């Protein structure tokens, strides 16, 4: 019983819901794309970037949940990232940014994903963030904004 309580406390502290098994999701570098490009995950899940030669992963600051640890891997290196915060995470390969090599993680339970994605799309009008637009449009289709009734 005490052990169970300790476990429950540990799970509370690390944000993993008790009874929920943390999953590992693999994202591979394929050509100049992340495969898959969009992943749905839960807090506590691990995103495992594999087959990263000749790629790298870098969080896009303007499209990353506030307070979440950034991501910045070395060229060609595998990297594991543990999801600790709700939100929508958009990352890129700096080597193939111009080729629009971008990916996203959407965390279950995130409030107003359509609103977040719409905000990111507006941001992506700037010349600097334009390469993210293709992926954000895919996200906007997956998470449409509710139709407003007059
Ligand atoms: Cu790349």
pLDDT for 146 equals 83
Q: How far is the CA of 31 from the centre of ligand 1 (A)?
A: 8
pLDDT for 72 equals 97
User: Where do the domains of the chain lie, and which CATH numbers do they carry?
Assistant: 21-142 (2.60.40.420)
Residues 8-63 have pLDDT tens digits of 545 445 544 555 789 999 999 999 999 999 999 999 999 999 999 999 999 999 99
Closest to 113 (Cα-Cα) out of 149, 89, 148: 89
pLDDT for 78 equals 97
Q: Provide the edge-to-edge strand list for the sheet that holds 24-30.
A: 33-35, 24-30, 46-50, 79-82
Q: How far is the CA of 115 from the centre of ligand 1 (A)?
A: 28
Neighbours of ion ligand 1 (CB under 5 A): 55, 93, 95-96, 101
Q: How far is the CA of 104 from the centre of ligand 1 (A)?
A: 15
| SS3 assignment, position 106 | strand
**Does residue 31 have a cis bond before it (omega within 30 degrees)?**
no
| SS3 assignment, position 61 | helix
Residues 62-107 have pLDDT tens digits of 999 999 999 999 999 999 999 999 999 999 999 999 999 999 999 9
pLDDT for 19 equals 52
Residue 45: partners with Cβ closer than 8 Å, 6 or more residues away: 22, 23, 24, 25, 82, 83
Q: How far is the CA of 67 from the centre of ligand 1 (A)?
A: 26
pTM: 0.85
């Amino acid at each position: 019983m005490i052990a169970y309580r300790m476990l429950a406390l540990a799970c509370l502290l690390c944000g993993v819901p008790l009874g929920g098994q943390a999953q590992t999701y693999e994202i591979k570098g394929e050509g100049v794309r992340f495969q898959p490009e969009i992943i749905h995950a839960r807090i506590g899940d691990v995103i495992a970037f594999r087959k990263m030669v000749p790629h790298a992963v870098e969080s896009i600051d303007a499209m990353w949940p506030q307070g979440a640890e950034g991501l910045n891997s070395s060229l060609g290196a595998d990297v594991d990232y543990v999801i600790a915060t709700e939100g929508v995470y958009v990352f890129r390969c700096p080597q193939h940014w111009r080729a629009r090599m971008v990916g996203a993680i959407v965390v279950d339970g995130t409030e107003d994903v359509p609103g977040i994605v719409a905000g990111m799309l507006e941001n992506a009008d700037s010349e600097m963030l334009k390469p993210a637009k293709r992926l954000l449009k895919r996200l906007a289709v997956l998470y449409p904004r509710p139709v407003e009734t007059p």
